Amino acid sequence: MSLPRRYLPSIPALLAFEAVARLGSATQAAAELSLTQSAVSRQLKLLEDQLGVALLARKGRGLVVTPQGERYVRTVRTTLQRLAQAGVAAQTGPEIGALNLAILPAFGMHWLAPRLRDFARTHPEVTVNLSTRLAPFDFRGSQFDAAIHFGREDWPGVGYLPLLPETVVPVCAPSLIATPLTDPQEILQFDLLHLDTRPRGWARWLRAVGQDSDPPPGMMFDQFSTMAQAAIHGLGIALLPTFFADPYLANGQLVLAATQSAQSIGSYYLVWPADRPCPPALEAFRDWLALQRTAAHAGDDHV
């Protein structure tokens, strides 16, 4: 690949620009990079002259990023991170490296994260980097090696490892309901909390326990974590996955609102691009997750 050299700045210039953009000060950037302030300023001028674009502007005694600089610095940070990761991989060998994984917040925090210590212990050669993504995306335009997906096998162009179905339970603050309701119809007398990615969650739960009533509208949340906090503060009854509800039930912040639970129509999967060779780090992680799935199916995640 041949690119015009005028579009390929030096690494010192990019490091100086990234640090100034983040810190808003050439003096602070110089201290972080162990350079003089004049050296940092010189690198910034070389970079702007080379690109022919003003990347920074002075504001009072500090520096702010221009709109052009804001767009550029995002790419610079990603590029520098990838170069650093490539350097680590080159030093440690092709069989060792990083795994960039896109996760769903609740599943990542409450199911995956507690288990990652075991993966780190058994696979110290792999570094797992986690970032949140709430919906399917195109792997070709991302840095991710794999992702956690909820729903059905409807993500095009990927391979699937089923992890576990989502089993949900209705929970609320102890002050709202003293003992679990035995008649699920009674739950309609309380405010119900809804998740925008599970708009039919309560309707499916009611039908699963033999009730044909439609649930009333209620407060809507975009994540289980905020909905759980609303339930803790007595704002209504939340429908939470068992792996998410367990810690709150164990410490008494939440209690079961009804004796019934129901399995939702969705499951969790590990997915990865089917048109790429599987890197060793992903292969190790996938094999390890398969063992975790076996433990979960044995009853590890039920209330």
Q: Tell me the pLDDT tens digit for each residue of 221-252.
A: 988 999 999 999 999 999 999 889 989 999 99
pLDDT surpasses 90 at 16:
yes
pLDDT surpasses 60 at 219:
yes
Where do the domains of the chain lie, and which CATH numbers do they carry?
5-91 (1.10.10.10), 95-164+266-300 (3.40.190.10), 166-264 (3.40.190.10)
Residue 48's pLDDT is: 92
Confidence of residue 101 (pLDDT cuts 50, 70, 90): very high
DSSP 157-211: TEEEEEEEEEEEEEEE-TTT-SS-BSSGGGGGGS-B-EETT-TTHHHHHHHHTT-
Arithmetic mean of pLDDT, 170-183:
92
Arithmetic mean of pLDDT, 192-214:
88
Q: Tell me the pLDDT tens digit for each residue of 239-290.
A: 999 889 989 999 999 999 998 877 776 899 999 999 888 889 999 999 999 9
Eight-state DSSP code of residue 236: -
Residue 302's pLDDT is: 39
Q: Is 300 exposed, middle or buried (0-12, 13-18, 19+ CB in 10 A)?
A: middle
